[in-house]
């Protein structure tokens, strides 16, 4: 483990955390302290903070990390069996690129060990470093961003919280298979950006489209990386963000999104970004971030491990014949009742893991009416 990348939590802070109720979350977590780095053997979730906000217009993020941890570790644990460690913080490097390097190396190490990095930012451009951590895994990945903006910007710009996506899309090695935006608000994004997202066959869901929050579950089930901008939540629920808006997701919907991400068998990293403690009224946003993290952990503990990576024999198969006589196969899990749809035209081994696309029963019913689900069509365009 690359201990040198981390700074420990203050012993006094850990002492305060451990003084909480015996069944609080803080009393079941292994902490990196001044005298001890936790053994990550058998750890499933590794929490760490990133003290980096030069890519955004947030205040120093270290104070924010303290308040998020304070609220998180006061919460009571669920009926959880998985082990959690808090590795401390990655401090701000001499340059932003130094911080990115540290984050990417840590993410790569943890994911290879089948440990889920749970990142507390910092500005959202840390998502770029998270993504680069998958470079050595020899697979394409799906990125889901919960955000009111696409953060495309220009590939010529420095990597910023408002422009990191263009670097992910354009920069080699390019391991991005799909990008999905959840909760974007049209008036915060130019028409050129919206058209580009569509042209690249990416998925984008407006805030109004996700009033039924269950519609985003298949999107998160197909994600590898989930990046959560706290500015996507309405100001009344999360005031601790410089770009907070009167419109946005409700706090309970944000928690539902986090739980869907946790339940997903494919999600291997999760991050929450853009918190500004200096403008957080009564630390309400820190409380909500703590609850978002709690629901993600709850989801991981409830994973059904039913993603059909290798075999589909035990799944119920439904075939829909389309107008051109091509069959569209759907599979329903015998464990969870969740649905997938299949693309057969895959010869590139790098894309094999995208042959099955999570979907909903609603997609199956649409196919029966000879309407091809949009996510199936967009995936096919990227594979052919």
> Is 101 found in the same domain as 196?
yes
The domain that holds 158 is classified in CATH as: 3.40.800.10
Residue spans of beta strands (DSSP E) within the chain: 6-7, 29-31, 43-50, 83-90, 116-120, 141-146, 176-184, 203-206, 225-229, 269-273, 316-321, 327-332, 339-342, 356-359
Are 345 and 231 in the same domain? Answer: no
Mean pLDDT by 10 residues, the chain (384 residues): 89 94 96 94 96 77 92 96 97 94 97 97 94 91 97 71 89 93 96 94 96 96 97 97 95 98 97 95 97 98 79 82 82 89 67 80 92 88 78
Both 270 and 361 in one domain: the answer is: no
CA–CA separation, 31 vs 24, rounded Å? 14
Peptide bond into 173 cis (omega under 30): yes
Structure tokens at 84: 């959690």
Q: Are residues 267 and 331 in the same domain?
A: no
Q: Does residue 247 share a domain with residue 292?
A: yes
* Residue 338 domain flag: yes
Place of tokens 């990550």: 40
Question: Which H/E stretch holds residue 66?
Answer: helix 61-74
Domain containing 36 equals 3-301
Q: Are residues 250 and 326 in the same domain?
A: no
pLDDT of amino acid 159: 67
Same structural domain for residues 371 and 246? no
**Same-domain pairing of 195 and 324:** no
pLDDT of amino acid 262: 98
- Closest-CA residue to 31 (of 12, 55, 51): 12
Q: Which of 254, 273, 301 is the last residue of a domain?
A: 301
Among 301, 331, 346, identify where a domain stops. Answer: 301
User: What integer pLDDT is reported at residue 132 of this predicted model?
Assistant: 97
pTM assigned to the model: 0.94
Handedness of CA 115, 298, 129, 94 (dihedral sign): negative
Label the pairing between strands 327-332 and 339-342. Answer: antiparallel
Using DSSP, state whether 224 is helix, strand or coil. Answer: coil
Which pLDDT belongs to residue 345?
62
Dist CA 269 CA 217 (whole Å): 16
Are residues 258 and 378 both part of a single domain? Answer: no
Q: How many domains does the chain have?
A: 2
Question: What pLDDT does 325 receive?
Answer: 67
């Amino acid at each position: 483990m690359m201990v040198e990348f981390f700074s420990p939590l203050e012993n006094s802070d850990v002492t305060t955390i451990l003084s909480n109720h015996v069944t609080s979350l803080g009393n079941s977590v292994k902490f990196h302290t001044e005298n001890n780095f936790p053994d990550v053997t058998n750890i499933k979730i590794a929490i760490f903070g990133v003290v980096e906000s030069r890519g955004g217009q947030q205040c120093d993020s270290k104070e924010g990390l303290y308040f998020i941890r304070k609220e998180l570790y006061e919460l009571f644990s669920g009926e959880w069996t998985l082990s959690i460690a808090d590795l401390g913080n990655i401090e701000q490097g001499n340059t932003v690129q130094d911080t990115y390097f540290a984050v990417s190396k840590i993410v790569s190490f943890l994911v290879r060990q089948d440990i889920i990095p749970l990142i507390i930012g910092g500005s959202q451009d840390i998502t770029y470093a998270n993504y680069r951590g998958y470079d050595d895994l020899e697979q394409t990945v799906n990125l889901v961003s919960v955000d009111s903006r696409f953060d495309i910007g220009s590939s010529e710009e420095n990597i910023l919280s408002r422009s990191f996506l263009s670097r992910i899309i354009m920069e080699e090695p390019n391991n991005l298979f799909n990008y999905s935006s959840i909760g974007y608000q049209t008036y915060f994004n130019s028409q050129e950006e919206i058209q580009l997202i569509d042209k690249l066959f990416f998925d984008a869901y407006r805030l109004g489209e996700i009033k039924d929050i269950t519609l985003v579950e298949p999107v998160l089930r197909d994600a590898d990386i989930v990046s959560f901008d706290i500015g996507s939540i309405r100001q009344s629920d999360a005031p601790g963000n410089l770009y907070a808006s009167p419109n946005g997701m409700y706090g309970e919907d944000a928690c539902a999104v986090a739980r869907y991400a946790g339940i997903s068998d494919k999600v291997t990293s999760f991050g929450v970004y853009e918190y500004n403690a200096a403008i957080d009224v009564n630390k309400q946003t820190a409380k909500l971030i703590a609850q978002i993290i709690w629901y993600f952990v709850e989801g991981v503990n409830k994973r059904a491990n039913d993603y059909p990576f290798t075999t589909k024999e035990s799944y119920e198969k439904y075939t829909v014949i389309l107008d051109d006589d091509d069959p569209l196969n759907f599979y329903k899990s015998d464990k969870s009742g969740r649905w997938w749809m299949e693309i057969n035209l895959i010869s590139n081994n790098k894309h094999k893991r995208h042959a099955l696309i999570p979907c909903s029963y609603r997609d199956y019913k649409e196919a029966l009416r000879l309407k091809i689900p949009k996510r199936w069509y967009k995936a096919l365009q990227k594979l052919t």
